[in-house]
Structure 1
Amino acid sequence: MPKHLKKLSEEILHSNPWSVYKHDTYEKPNGAVGDYYYMQTPGNSMIIPVLEDGRIVLILQTRYIDQRQSLEFPCGGKKEGQSPLDVAKIELYQETGWIADDFMKIGSFQALNGLVDDECHVFLAKVVEQKEQQLEDTEDIEVLYRRPDEIDEMIKKNDIWDGQTMAAWSMARHIFFEEKPVAKATALGTLQNIFDDFIGS
């Protein structure tokens, strides 16, 4: 079994409202001292919002680093004092205008655990009411709606290329495609049936 990597020291090289950049020293498996540089955030929440007819809410926005448009699930960073569920509710409403009456956490993951300490919490949400988006001045977001099978196809074609969105979908898609009678009642089943079936399984 691989050895635990013991931390020897820690220092902050840079901080901003969203993240900190750190330098640690640690004990290597061979006993020598090594340097480790990484970014750390408070974490984030990603939401897979589902309408009563089974369609899923996506957002389209331009990503600065790649300078191209990206189809994603709504997602936002955690602030001090907020729980992952708090963030999910806030970001869903701000980015899409949608309000959900039920949230179900389906897991969490670290998207780039060799470079960034940034845990993403994934929620399935049953949306029931839409109001105006509450976008920040850095955001320009279009709201789109797609069926689960269309999301699969967009990932295959690389139309969806955001890593967190693909990771979240890999955790959630079995809920929509499991071979269960309740899911066969309609093309995709209502979200309430999906929730009831998933929770009761």
Structure 2
Amino acid sequence: MNEYNNPWKVLAEKKIYENPWIKLNEYDVINPSGGKGIYGKVFFKSIATGALPLDEDLNTYLVGQYRFTIDQYSWEIPEGGGKFGVDPVESAQRELLEETGLVAAEWTKIVEMHLSNSVTDEYAVIYLARKLSQHMASPEETEQLIIKKLPFEEAYQMVERGEITDSMSVAAILKVKMMLLDGRIS
């Protein structure tokens, strides 16, 4: 048997919960060591998209909001969900405009990642947004946002100090820091 083959055996599957954003299934399984058990999996009904805006002076924009799921305030890059079948860059463009009022003329895909592959199938695509122009923001009714424009290096230091913990934001900021250091962007 190839070590990359699926060692899990599903005996039964049951839908536990579903809403417009997620579905939760529970599985009766035989685990890789041969024991019986259960496994829960959250299916996301959208793809996560994010945009790290970076202006010509190497300033970026963070979005601050209180996150219900973690019961704390969070500083993040502009991000949100996009429909499957829609180019993720279109969803990232929409989120950037909605949350910050920014429009970018240049988009570069910088990260593709699974967000918590131990319990979900959530997948993210993150872009670097350049050549920015300011327009009117229009956050969703569930969003009470504060927008912070700051030097990119300050956002990087926030990651280093553990002040930014959102996984998409951390990944994007660290990737852009590497790109700046090795001269891929300036």
Any gaps of 5 or more consecutive residues in structure 2?
none
Output the CA distance in 2 between the equivalents of 1:31 and 1:67.
38
Q: Cα–Cα, structure 1 residues 80 and 153, in superposed 2: closer, same or farther, change >3 Å?
A: closer
Output the CA distance in 2 between the equivalents of 1:33 and 1:112.
23
Structure 1 segment 115-134 matched on structure 2, within 5 A: 115-134=119-138
CA deviation profile, 1:6-65 (whole Å, cap 9, x unmatched): 453433221111111112344422344432102111321011111122111111111123
Name the structure 2 match of 1:113. 117
Q: Which has the higher helix share?
A: 1
Any gaps of 5 or more consecutive residues in structure 1?
181-192, 196-201
Q: Does the residue aligned with 1:166 lie in a helix, a strand or coil? A: helix
Q: Runs of at least 4 residues of structure 1 off by over 4 A?
A: none
Q: CA deviation at 1:101?
A: 0.9
Report if the CA contact (8 A) 1:61-1:141 is conserved.
yes
TM-score by length of 1: 0.80
Output the CA distance in 1 between the equivalents of 2:70 and 2:37.
32
Q: Cα–Cα, structure 1 residues 4 and 141, in superposed 2: closer, same or farther, change >3 Å?
A: same
Q: Which has the higher strand share?
A: 2
Mapped pair 1:50 → 2:54 = yes
Q: CA deviation at 1:67?
A: 3.2
Q: Cα–Cα, structure 1 residues 34 and 68, in superposed 2: closer, same or farther, change >3 Å?
A: closer
Report if the CA contact (8 A) 2:51-2:92 is conserved.
yes
Q: CA deviation at 1:83?
A: 2.3
Code of the residue aligned with 1:151 in structure 2: it is A
Name the structure 1 match of 2:162. 158
Q: What is the RMSD of the two structures over their aligned residues, measured on CA atoms? A: 2.1
Q: CA deviation at 1:89?
A: 0.9
Larger deviation, residues 52-61 vs 92-101: 52-61
Structure 1 segment 154-193 matched on structure 2, within 5 A: 154-178=158-182, 180=183
Name the structure 1 match of 2:16. 13
Mapped pair 1:147 → 2:151 = yes
Report if the CA contact (8 A) 1:103-1:123 is conserved.
yes
Code of the residue aligned with 1:194 in structure 2: it is I
Name the structure 2 match of 1:89. 93
Q: CA deviation at 1:127?
A: 4.1
Output the CA distance in 2 between the equivalents of 1:165 and 1:139.
17
Identity %: 26
